[in-house]
Amino acid sequence: MWFMRQAGRSLPEYRRVRADVPMLDACARPDMIVEITLQPVRRYDVDAAIYFSDIVVPLKAIGVDLDIKTGVGPVVADPVRDAEGVKRLRALEPDDVPFVTEAVGELTRELGDRPLIGFAGAPFTLASYLIEGGPSKNHERTKALMYGEPELWADLMHRLAAITVEFLRVQIAAGASAVQLFDSWVGALSAEDYRESVLPHTSWIFDQLSGLDVPRIHFGVGTGELLGLLSEAGADVVGVDWRVPLDKAAQRVQPGTALQGNLDPATLFAPWEVVARRAADVLSRGAAAEGHVFNLGHGVLPTTDPDVLARLTEFVHTETAR
């Protein structure tokens, strides 16, 4: 078991380390990456660490003018909305992200036998930030380009997929034991739109990683109707948010696919007996899958009590050891 966003604002030690340090600066400093990645491992004794980063780090590394604004999220100074904008998205080279190689190398030495999960954003979500210029509720500009200019959309997605693959390859080459592709906004799409406009590019990413002998995790938010397609894309593990019970999700994915999830992060604010009961239910339903990684159904919320997560980790370890 591990928790998405297990290293982050819910930890007082994280807030101390990040004080006065902008997010993207922290993501480019090996010492901070190592410290922040290890913080939840020390506190919770989770079974895996996940590389501390942000999905826009590789875009920043190739020269996209963007920033992560507090309370807003990634903001792009010059949104990509035409062919010229797409052409400016060059390939990512390992030398663009030397801090990744250094940090992953140090982390794998510190972690020993405990796995380090590499991390990257998926092309659709990256495209949405680039086109909208920041977070969006409706993704109207993104969908307009996808629907109205399919050739330009395909070019954009191909470039972003190549950037994502290289970012993950760098992490794997440095020692990451597994990788997670995170598609925050893909739940905004219908199954038909996903199959036509996103699936080929996501499948290409997983195919490019297939020979590197690392498990590949695919997670999206609000993707209950897309779980079969997320599995079809080629991941070994499909993350499930809290909206779909794991026994139902197991019926939607391809044979041989493990599941990750999926306790509602808000559950952690309820009394402990509720947390324990619901966690036990997740474990019970997860038994229907061909493999189960216990996790939340999305990231740890910033105001979560770290002591509850520590207690939950101990509970899951105790229950599954029986």
Whether 51 is a known active-site residue: answer no
Which token pair is 68? 């992560």
The residue annotated as part of the active site, out of 18, 141, 195, 243, is 18
- Tell me the one-letter amino acid at 293: V
pTM: 0.97
Confidence of residue 244 (pLDDT cuts 50, 70, 90): very high
Average model confidence (pLDDT) for the chain?
Answer: 97
Do residues 105 and 174 touch, judged by C-beta distance below 8 A?
Answer: yes
The residue annotated as part of the active site, out of 47, 54, 193, 264, is 54
Q: Does 271 have pLDDT greater than 90?
A: yes
Q: Does 319 have pLDDT greater than 90?
A: yes
Whether 216 is a known active-site residue: answer no
3-state SS string over 227-292?
A: HHHHHHCCCCEEECCCCCCHHHHHCCCCCCCEEEEEECHHHHHCCHHHHHHHHHHHHHHHCCCCCE
Whether 9 is a known active-site residue: answer yes
Length of the chain: 322
What local confidence, expressed as pLDDT, does residue 38 receive?
Answer: 98
Q: Does 322 have pLDDT greater than 90?
A: no
Backbone angles phi, psi at 48, to 5 degrees: -150, 150
What local confidence, expressed as pLDDT, does residue 131 receive?
Answer: 98
Q: What are the pLDDT digits (tens) for 190-230? A: 999 999 999 999 999 999 999 999 999 999 999 999 999 99
229-254: average pLDDT: 97
What local confidence, expressed as pLDDT, does residue 71 receive?
Answer: 85
Q: Does 235 have pLDDT greater than 90?
A: yes
Do residues 132 and 142 touch, judged by C-beta distance below 8 A?
Answer: yes
The residue annotated as part of the active site, out of 9, 114, 195, 278, is 9
The residue annotated as part of the active site, out of 51, 129, 159, 252, is 129
